Chain A
Amino acid sequence: MTSGVDLSRPQAQTVGSDEDVVRVRQLVRTVAVAVKLSLVDQTKVVTAASELARNTLVYGGGGTVEVTAVDNGRRPGITIVFADSGPGIADLELALTDGYTTGGGLGLGLSGARRLVDDFDIQTAPGQGTRITITKWSR
């Protein structure tokens, strides 16, 4: 099966509707399969991406997702960047608490996504937008 995705370059997807969140899931799945993540790890990283892309849409007012196949010399992996120029997050520790939501959700998106991946980095400030980078390495 050919994926039709060029793994040598980052793949970008704009997030402006909930159909785009579906597209993000599909793109992440394709790259996760290509870098040979196990089925469980594919499932974890696609789930994390779904949560973070929805946040980009709902709280960030839309933005972009960039998916890259990476290699640290020992093993391959997948890195995904979620970026928006929305309101940003004032109290990051609070936002990362299980169950905390300002939008009537379950409050498990940020905290759960962090548990599901190997590396989780977040840059945000009020009025500065939000940029989250996650990586899952193949074992």
Chain B
Amino acid sequence: MERVPILKIGDILLVSIQVDMSDQTAVALQEDLAERIVATGCHGVIIDITALDIVDSFVGRMLSTIASISRVLDAETVVVGMRPAVAITLVELGLSLNGIRTALNVERGMELIAAERDHDRHDEFDDGSDVEPTASP
């Protein structure tokens, strides 16, 4: 069985799917990614599907599951590079890809993850008050 390689780039895991995956390969990728997230402590996963000429319900479900698993493991998943014909077909198939973040390309995906982490960091140190500091008289 073929396995999809997972690259670590800084704080991000990059998966670029280059083959027409069998269902077994898709399931293995799901498991490999979960392990790598934990082993590396990465907080972002980018799945590049530029090379995929179809996404059916099995791969669609795999993408949703990866997004859910990574969220539980404190990582953000962004799917990038979906072809227009694939997007049109997904909608007609009835697949909603709920809960999956998407971006145009890898670069935008990285920006999205960075912005998300930044936002979370501010939330952590937020004391709960939304009041702007005002100069006392």
Contact = CB atoms under 8 A, between A and B. Distances in A.
A109 interface: yes
Interface residues of B, number: 23
B38 interface: no
Interface string B82-95: 01111011001111
B11 interface: no
The interface size bin for chain A is 20 to 34
B23 A18 contact: yes
B18 interface: no
Given A25-B20, A112-B95, A46 B53 contact: yes
Contact of A106 (B20, B21, B57, B92): B57
A44 B94 CA distance: 12
Given A29-B53, A54-B58, A115 B24 contact: no
The main secondary structure of chain A at its interface with chain B is: helix
Interface of A: 18-19, 21-22, 25-26, 29, 39-40, 42-44, 46-47, 50-51, 54, 98, 105-106, 108-109, 111-113, 115-116
28 contacts: A18-B22, A18-B23, A22-B21, A25-B20, A25-B54, A39-B85, A40-B85, A40-B88, A40-B89, A42-B85, A43-B53, A43-B54, A47-B56, A47-B93, A50-B54, A50-B56, A51-B56, A54-B58, A105-B58, A106-B95, A108-B57, A108-B93, A108-B95, A112-B92, A113-B93, A115-B92, A115-B93, A116-B89
